[in-house]
Amino acid sequence: MRFNSRLKIDLGWFAHNIDELKKLAPHNQIVLMVKSNAYGHGMVPIAREAIHAGVKEFGVASLGEGITLRKHLPQKDFEIYVFSDLECYQDKGWGPYLNNRLIPVISNKSVLSLFLNDPSTRHIPLVLKFNTGMNRLGFLQSELPYLISELKTHHRTHLFHIMSHFACASQLINEQSFSFKQYQNFKIIKQELIHQGFHIERSSMANSGAIEQGFALEETHIRPGLMVYGPSSLNHDVRPMGHWKGVMISELSTHIIQVNPIQKGMPIGYGAVPSPKDGLLTLLALGYGDGLFNHFRHITVSLNSYLGEAVGRINMDMLAILWEHSAASQLKLGTPITLWSHQDSRFNTLSDQNQISPYEILCGLSERIPRIYFHEKKGG
């Protein structure tokens, strides 16, 4: 645990992003993805704020995440979908789903059979995921006849929610794109189910990348994740085409723990990497033990008008930054340094320059960095 290296999370900006999201998709209900600890931001505080902003449905990846969310917000009225790690096999069965009001997303024949053959699932809404080309989770189009006959045999013709997932929504979506083809497949599946007499209450396909491009918004629901935390999900070259006006809800800051002069060629840290020039070397209290892995090759920080650049290897506990001598008056023990903040593009730059996806940067921040919650943005 640290004190001064921390991820400050402004829930006011988060509420602002939910408002911006509603502007982009005014006719859709939201399933807010809060898996992996709300992309590193803290599942419970984020869900609580989202409920306050009118969100009523959440998506998690695992049964354990679903149970945790329900236990921490017992009085609130909201739905939780469990997407991939259902753990309904062996002796667990569907009891945890019934007891915690969780909705499993069923993606294959084995799980469907466990579901349909257990009478206790009669009161659990039926949610099906289809594979429209990603070949990860989901029923294949070729399994439709089997699926239809199984569901009819068990009198489950009311489909609470059907969905599919895009493989390439971070790329440009046009009529030639893979996303376009996937969405066509989804529409064919939906039509066939309707034709076969099924009642479909809800449907969804759009994740952040699709929502940012205004795609697949004809369904009742959208399933945003990354974007509500601020960053665009679109690749660098496509980003200008997106419509997202979100703001980073987090600010990652640390502080200086040592300042020393260094000469060009002098070895620095593990591997004795030679300093590229004369200057002042500061150590910051962030390392790979905090999630700042050595895949980060380009880290630039600024202090007033001075720029510092990471040199040498990132350690478990600290990181070395080299500055010009003229920055001396700014560089004091305890001086705060931010890696990214709310209304700047440094988070994008960090992601682009290091070719590390925004998803991985946020989910990678370890538990040693405290998440501190604020409500500074007003009127959100």
CB 203 within 8 A of CB 217: no
Question: CB 73 → ligand PLP: shortest distance, Å?
Answer: 20
* One of 9, 33, 280, 361 touching ligand PLP (CB under 6 A): 33
Cα three-residue angle 367-273-351, rounded to 5 degrees = 45
226 binds ligand PLP (CB under 6 A): yes
Which window, 90-98, 221-229, 252-260, 285-293, contacts ligand PLP (CB under 6 A)?
Answer: 221-229
The region of 64-72, 204-212, 281-289, 311-319 touching ligand PLP under the rule CB under 6 A is 204-212
Is position 249 an interface residue for ligand PLP (rule: CB under 6 A)? no
Q: Is 224 among the residues that bind ligand PLP (CB under 6 A)? A: yes
Q: Does 233 bind ligand PLP (CB under 6 A)?
A: yes
Of 33 and 337, nearer to ligand PLP (C-beta) is 33
Which listed residue (83, 186, 323, 340) binds ligand PLP by CB under 6 A?
A: 83
Residue 61 CB, nearest distance to ligand PLP (Å)? 7
Q: How far is CA 278 from CA 63, 263, 268, 274, 350, in A?
A: 54, 4, 12, 11, 25
Residue 59 Cβ vs ligand PLP, minimum distance, rounded to whole Å = 6
Q: Please pick, from the candidates 42, 225, 312, 358, the single residue that binds ligand PLP as defined by CB under 6 A.
A: 225
Among the residue ranges 1-9, 139-147, 224-232, 341-349, the one whose residues contact ligand PLP (CB under 6 A):
224-232
Among 6, 8, 161, 223, the residue binding ligand PLP under the rule CB under 6 A is 223
CB of residue 232 vs ligand PLP: minimum separation in angstroms?
A: 10
Residue with Cβ nearer ligand PLP (165 or 377):
165
Binding range to ligand PLP, per CB under 6 A, among 173-181, 219-227, 238-246, 291-299: 219-227
Cα–Cα distance, 320 to 305 (Å, whole number) = 19
63 lines the binding site for ligand PLP (CB under 6 A): no
Measured CA to CA, the distance from residue 15 to residue 318 in angstroms comes to 33
Instruction: Give min distance, CB of 227 to ligand PLP, in A.
Output: 6
The one-letter amino acid code at 370 reads P
Would you say 18 or 310 has its CB closer to ligand PLP?
18
- Which residues 6+ apart lie within 8 Å of 356 measured at CB? 295, 296, 350
Site for ligand PLP in 139-198 (CB under 6 A): 165
Q: Can you read off the two tokens belonging to residue 256?
A: 């200086």
Task: Write out the residues near ligand PLP by the rule CB under 6 A.
Answer: 33, 35, 83, 165, 207-209, 223-226, 233
